[in-house]
Chains A and B, each alone.
Chain A
Amino acid sequence: MALKMLGNMLRTTRTTSSLVVTRWKSSNTEKKLTVYDPYVTKPQKNKETYLEVIRMFEGQDIRRRGHVEFIYASLARMKEFGVEKDLEVYKALVDVLPKGKFIPTNIFQAEFLHYPKQQQCAVDLLEQMEDNSVMPDSEMEEMLMNIFGRRGIPLRKFWRMMYWMPKFKNLSPWYLPEHLPNDTMELAMLAIQRITSVDPDTKISIWQTEEIEASLDKTWIVSAQSRMQQVLLEEQPPDEPLAIKGPYSVYLRDQVVTYFILLGKIRPEHKDDKDLDDVSNIEKPPGIPGFIGKTTLPAVKCTVHEQDDGTIVAVCATGTSSRDSLLSWIRLLEKYGNPVLSDIPVIFTLIAPPADIAIQETQPAVTDDKETTKS
């Protein structure tokens, strides 16, 4: 029995359990374990209530018994309260640990992991910060220093984090603001900007489908086209249809934006049969100003928009991602600078039925987190 209890205790501390306070509730007939979790009883799950629970724990017992278990339980509840990216909350949790008590006073203590469970707990807390890409600051260092001393393992973890995290923080060549906008249109704008950053000449415009009278969906369209693409579109053979392809998705951190592309045909390969070494027919001797040789531009794939599978002539994201909004997009493109589109047929080759029907991925278990799919 004692072994079983010990096993239970070990297991609860090893995994980040949600048990905060456990008591043996004894009645006349049977003994059972009751669970008291202050996080469950909070009706509002936000930062204030989370901090309130921490303050409550600090206030209820002067010895703060079970603070390691409390920290583990609080770490597990962070996502539920939406505070997993908040540095202040992590600091409040570190503050639960008593100051001065865990600082080793001789070399043996320093070497042999003084208060191992508490140190491991603080390391796990820092690890969770790292996973949520929260960078600690120097105040955190002071706090950890006051708790564990400068020989503590949590301090080593902290210093490693402060060495590496700034190195990777702004590494991405495509800058994103720290907080992504909540508005889907602004998000789509960011996504289209990112996609079309290959061509700095690209002009991004926001249109409303209400401009087209025949449109059914009243929504917005973020469309991007460069002058180069306009020329490429004009040069498209009028009898061959263009294709709208999509929906494809692009990630901006954890947000997904769906976009569509208008794809044209690739220009025919330029054939140059002229023999460059043929000197029998030189019109102008060298040294005289002017052109010698051909003056046309190299014909094949000189622009970035000409990819292997076709020429990308425009990119867009719409509010509803529906067929009708895409039709309005074509009409708006025609209205603003692409009159060729009135003659060229356009085919819709959409991979999956757009937005009207939601497709669920078949997964072996139930999804815990709600998916953040935006279109």
Chain B
Amino acid sequence: MSIIFNKTLKTVIYFRHYSVLCKRLDNSPLLSCFAQSFIPVNRSLFWEKERKGGYRSQENVSYIEHMKNGYKELKVELKLFAKEMKEFLEADPLLIARPGETDLLWCFNEPTVLDNFVTTCDSDHNEGFSTCHFDMSPAGRANFHGYLDTRVPKDGRIKKAGYCAIRSKRVRKSFKRGSTYNWSLYNTLVLKVRGDGRSYLLNISCEGYYDITWNDIYHYVLYTRGGPYWQIAKIPFSKFVLGSKGRLQDRQSRMRFDKVTHFGVSCGDKINGPFNLEIEYVGDDVSTDYPKTVVFGNS
């Protein structure tokens, strides 16, 4: 019992109450202990406390445990560091992108590439009933599939539901130093996909240092033809529109190509039913057809 109590005390700290009137109700440790769903932080007007916006998925571990885990990872990190140093000494940086040649970011021809991505859907946080998976298809490519369900759980808190998404993990250097993709050589995103006629959303996040940039994502729609034929979608970066927390911004700005943190695809077209998107590769290209500097709103 004491363990449970400790745990609840910890979680209570991170609770943000939906309504002031419900405060007393939520604070009682028994209720929060047996609550099925974790209520995330709803809105903070002036600053963001954490990058995940209240959706805390990591567990709190003790310092001893933390040190033990860190020691286990030391070997991997040192190996990574050695690789980085080798690359630094040997390899020359890429200075020119060749027009018409696609540089692949991810080529999903083997299962290990899928580990770079994480899936999210609304049922992960008890906020809906959609499910999704990201695995290898019978044709040997990555397959983002699942069931999109727009039913809203009747908890009186959620207004809309129905999304599934994949997102690349944050790229990093050794010893857990954050890093970013540098796409400043390119101006086009290239995907080879085979979809089912639905439209998907491509998301490129450019998280910055300050909290107002944490939710900046550049969006564009990926229309799929459907059917057994592969299609290559080439989308210039100038077409991407800036949104924050899913809301399009009035003042559009250019993507920071050298500070791209995540790439993702999401499905949320409000149509109930199974979806299926096969991806062969995601790459970057430079094309002379499109201007790079033009922002969507001004073009």
Do A251 and B273 touch (CB < 8 A)? yes
Do A197 and B271 touch (CB < 8 A)? no
Do A253 and B226 touch (CB < 8 A)? no
Interface residues of A in 183-204 (CB under 8 A from B): 191, 194-198
Do B198 and A251 touch (CB < 8 A)? yes
Interface residues of B in 216-237 (CB under 8 A from A): 221, 223, 225-231
- Residues on B with C-beta less than 8 A from A173 are 223
Do A309 and B151 touch (CB < 8 A)? no
Q: Which residue of B lies closest to A309 (CB)?
A: B139
The 0/1 profile, CB within 8 Å of B marked 1, for residues 239-269 of chain A is: 0000000001111111010010100000000
Do B151 and A365 touch (CB < 8 A)? yes
Interface residues of B in 1-37 (CB under 8 A from A): 19, 21
Do B229 and A307 touch (CB < 8 A)? yes
Q: Which residue of A lies closest to B18 (CB)?
A: A14
Q: Which residue of A lies closest to B226 (CB)?
A: A250
Q: Which residue of B lies closest to A369 (CB)?
A: B272
CB distance from B175 to the nearest CB of A (A): 40
Tell me whether B178 is interfacial, beta carbon within 8 Å: no
Bound Cα distance A191, B250 (Å) = 37
- Residues on B with C-beta less than 8 A from A248 are 196, 227-228
Partner pick for A252 among B140, B197, B270, CB 8 A cutoff? B197
How big is the A interface, by class? 35 or more
Tell me whether B212 is interfacial, beta carbon within 8 Å: no
Interface residues of B in 86-120 (CB under 8 A from A): none
Q: Which residue of B lies closest to A310 (CB)?
A: B228
Do A191 and B226 touch (CB < 8 A)? yes
Tell me whether A3 is interfacial, beta carbon within 8 Å: yes
Do B250 and A315 touch (CB < 8 A)? no
CB distance from A305 to the nearest CB of B (A): 8
Q: Which residue of A lies closest to B227 (CB)?
A: A195
The 0/1 profile, CB within 8 Å of A marked 1, for residues 236-248 of chain B is: 0000000000001
Partner pick for A160 among B227, B229, B230, B250, CB 8 A cutoff? B250
Interface residues of B in 184-237 (CB under 8 A from A): 196-199, 221, 223, 225-231
Contact A174 to B225, CB < 8 A, known contacts A11-B156, A249-B196, A250-B197: yes
- Residues on B with C-beta less than 8 A from A160 are 248, 250
Tell me whether A164 is interfacial, beta carbon within 8 Å: yes
- Residues on B with C-beta less than 8 A from A256 are 273
Bound Cα distance A16, B140 (Å) = 46
Q: Which residue of B lies closest to A245 (CB)?
A: B228
CB distance from B27 to the nearest CB of A (A): 16
Tell me whether A172 is interfacial, beta carbon within 8 Å: yes
Partner pick for A194 among B139, B198, B227, CB 8 A cutoff? B227
Q: Which residue of A lies closest to B160 (CB)?
A: A131
Tell me whether A336 is interfacial, beta carbon within 8 Å: no
Interface residues of A in 210-226 (CB under 8 A from B): none
- Residues on A with C-beta less than 8 A from B151 are 365, 367-369
- Residues on B with C-beta less than 8 A from A312 are 228-229
CB distance from A127 to the nearest CB of B (A): 10
Residues of B with Cβ closer than 8 Å to A?
Answer: 19, 21, 129, 138-140, 147, 149-151, 153, 156, 159-160, 196-199, 221, 223, 225-231, 248, 250, 270-274
